Amino acid sequence: MNGLATAAGHEDRHAPLKNYCRGLLLPGERKSIEPMAARLEPGSMQPMRQSLHHLVAKAPWSDEVLLEQVRSQVLPTMQKHGPVVAWIVDDTGFPKKGTHSVGVARQYCGQVGKQDNCRVAVSLSVATWNASLPVGYRLYLPKEWAEDAERREETEVPKEVRFQTKPEIALDQIRAALAAKVDRGIVLADAAYGINTEFRDGLAELGLQYVVGVQSTMTVWEPGKQPLPAKPRGRMGRPPRLLRRSNQHQPVPVKQLAMRLPSSAFQEVTWREAGERKLRSRFAAVRIRAAHRDYKKAEPHGEEWLLIEWPRGEAEPTKYWVSTLPSTTKLKALVKIAKHRWIIERDYEELKQELGLGHFEGRNWRGFHHHATLCIAAYGFLVAERNRFSPSARAGNLGFVALGPAPEFRPRGSPGPPRTA
């Protein structure tokens, strides 16, 4: 905690930061400022509330500096049990009513599984086989927000923040991790990122290997095939450069390729034990080339893996990934790393349910990010403790004790007590 407090800068922030993290770790269903203040100082709630509010909503400390401090303290404890194996890109949604809180718009929200009023944040996590830690976290600002000067001013969105797609935000986070010399891992992401050609190309340009989900409609060249070469040079003009297709020579959707494979191409693979149950399914892997707009290129896309999951009893394959892992990679190794993305689902479950990641009630940009950074700091403490003492320790069961709120405490907006006769 002393290291984190120092990273927050001014000495006046040290005690409030420690209190805020303690409030996040202590028991309690709601981890917004007022209930935390009531638990931390039952007899003097108002000064504590003001202190916490100033720290998270007003104080100009750097989220990046504090997250770097968290990483420098937590990652070595994770690596005692094994090296970094993956960098995991993901996003998470927070349902939110109204239109005034920064970033709130009608968009897909994974928490409810459909389009809804919410805000979404993009994250980058570093993972070993046993643990993971978010090292980058940023709100996705929809285009209607990015171009609305009045709403930007009201919610204090920094001038340098412009509209970026989620894959663009993720690439920025990855570049920052490379600049900070974080131990490299294989980049994992779901199909919302993997289907984006610019995202995959960006990873390749940075020298990073990836295993990313793709949609069944993605077109590829079947094993052993690629686009036709450029037309022969004519008598006049520049020599043709662009690759070609013909009516008889076309790429196919990955679903069509998968359905054509013989049943012998699929093997049963177990990738992880979950308690007493082994997680297994049927998989096939073939070497393909992506076909996206290659008719505008002079060279074909590089050869890579297409990994297909087709569980027994299903009428068709259910998931697809593409990967730049070496051609010598075994099927089980491909499956194990592709499925390792599950580990950040555990992160988000605990960050939301145990540490109140989505409980911040303010509207401004700084408060949203400061609250998330302190939640990640608290989560980093739990990760470090597990790796130091007991891999089976779980958040919420570490024996923290706090006084309850004063008997007369009622959060703002709650109904008043029943009137006595």
Give the residue among 88, 64, 91 at the shortest CA–CA distance from 174.
88
**Total number of domains in the chain:** 2
Tell me what pLDDT residue 11 has.
83
Query: Per-residue DSSP letters for 204-267?
Result: HHTT--EEEEE-TT-EEEPTT--PBPPPPP-SSSSPP---B-BTTB--EEHHHHHHHS-GGG-E
Tell me what pLDDT residue 154 has.
95
Do both 67 and 29 map to the same domain? yes
Do both 188 and 60 map to the same domain? yes
52 is a domain residue: yes
Q: For residue 72, what are the domain limits?
A: 2-206+344-388
Do both 153 and 274 map to the same domain? no
Do both 168 and 48 map to the same domain? yes
Identify the residue whose tokens are 């950040």.
344
Whether the full predicted model's pTM is greater than 0.85, yes or no, is: yes
Tell me what pLDDT residue 389 has.
65
* Contact criterion met (CB below 8 Å) for 85 and 128: yes
330 is a domain residue: no
416 is a domain residue: no
Q: Which residues pair with 189 in a beta bridge?
A: 212
Do both 98 and 53 map to the same domain? yes
Instruction: Please tell me the number of Cα atoms within 13 Å of 333 on its side-chain side.
Output: 11
Do both 259 and 305 map to the same domain? yes
Question: In which residue ranges of the chain is pLDDT below 70?
Answer: 234-237, 389-421
C-alpha dihedral, 292 to 294 to 297 to 302, nearest 10°: 90
Do both 260 and 112 map to the same domain? no
